[in-house]
Amino acid sequence: MSRVKEDDTVKVHYTGKLKNGQVFDTSLQREPLEFTLGQGMLIPGFENAVVGMEVNEKKTTEIPMEQAYGDINKELFHRVERNQLPQDITPELGMGLTSRSEDGREHQFKIVDVKEDHIIVDGNHPLAGQDLTFELELVEIL
């Protein structure tokens, strides 16, 4: 039976969990995730865990934050003056905001502090700073 190797295209069912067991994403209620290894489309720890698996094999893997979304980057916290926000927005803790840079790219932020004259937004990935657990099942090697 063949095993997954670099540059293979595969289909994988997965369930991602935080350290406390909370599920943050799963493919079990939809089509399996299809991707080609080595293209950098997924976090390195996920790709590394799939290498060497056989079709129908299941496994659970722990992925440290360094192989996931990295540590929390303090440089991605920004102070935004209230007068810079659209007037129809009432900022609340945990609210998501989108900003477009001059080159047209969108950036996602989460409000982490609300003051009378400003807010603090966090531009880190929501899973930054977290070790992750994935339950994997290799469905197919294409």
Helix (H, G, I), strand (E, B) or coil at 106: strand
Residue 51 to residue 55: CA distance in whole angstroms:
11
Pick the CATH number of 74-122 from 2.40.10.330, 3.30.70.60, 3.30.2290.10, 2.160.10.10: 2.40.10.330
- Domain positions in the chain are 9-70+128-141, 74-122
For residue 48, pLDDT beyond 90: yes
**pLDDT tens per residue across span 51-98:** 999 999 999 999 999 999 999 999 999 999 999 998 899 999 999 999
Q: How far apart are the two ends of the chain, measured CA to CA in Å? A: 14
Does domain 9-70+128-141 fall into CATH 3.10.50.40? yes
pLDDT of residue 101: 86
Q: Is the pLDDT of residue 135 over 90?
A: yes
pTM for the full predicted model: 0.86
Q: How high is the pLDDT of residue 61?
A: 98
